[in-house]
Amino acid sequence: MLEFISAPEAAKKWGISERRVQKLCEENRIPGVAKFSRMWLIPKDAEKPVDARKKVVQKVDK
């Protein structure tokens, strides 16, 4: 059986805000999440999604 953590627990684990975790859940960016009443349930072994808002900058040798 899967074990779940709450959004505040995931926020602390991943070093981001609780609201950001909630948005990731709403956007289906975390596999296996479930919403129970007003609470998001996140699989305990879920990985933090890559932040699509940040661009990866590559150095170009001249």
* pTM of the shown model: 0.77
Q: Where are the domains of the chain?
A: 4-43
**DSSP-derived secondary structure for 16-50:** S-HHHHHHHHHTT-STT-EEETTEEEEETTPPPPP
Task: Kindly state the tokens that stand for 25.
Answer: 């859940």
Instruction: Name the band, by pLDDT with cuts 50, 70 and 90, for residue 1.
Output: low
For the segment 29-54, what is each residue's pLDDT rounded down to a tens digit? Answer: 999 999 999 999 999 999 998 876 77
State what percent of residues in the chain have pLDDT above 90. Answer: 71
